[in-house]
Amino acid sequence: KEQPTTLSLSDVCNWIIWQFPKIAGKGLCGAVHPPIAGHGWFPANVEPGEALVHIYANVASPFKTPESAAQYIETAVTEPTP
């Protein structure tokens, strides 16, 4: 099972968090983009109530679109275990 890296929302305050995530479990299934020009998207589960982001940065390479990153979670990853 893939294990995400868990960060607080304040840790990723200068990252781009995809604005169209899907509800999944107790959070949102989506994607995040670090503040690096030309960098791709990482799959992520966002828990706004807990102010946490579970980032799947262990993928072979970042995804070109946030939609494809979110699709990765829907097909390859189960509920995160923080």
pLDDT at 1 over 80: no
Residue 49 reports pLDDT greater than 80: yes
Residue 28's pLDDT band, with cuts at 50, 70 and 90, is confident
Q: Are the C-beta atoms of residues 57 and 34 closer than 8 Å to each other?
A: no
CA dihedral 69, 71, 53, 15 (to 10 degrees): 30
3-class SS at 29? strand
Residue matched to tokens 């690096």: 36
- Contact assessment for residue 53 and residue 27, using Cβ atoms and an 8 Å cutoff: no
pLDDT band at 7 (very low <50, low <70, confident <90, very high): very high
User: pLDDT band at 27, cuts 50/70/90?
Assistant: confident
| CB distance 18 to 30 below 8 Å | yes
For the chain, the structural domain boundaries read: 5-76
Q: What is the pLDDT of residue 77?
A: 65
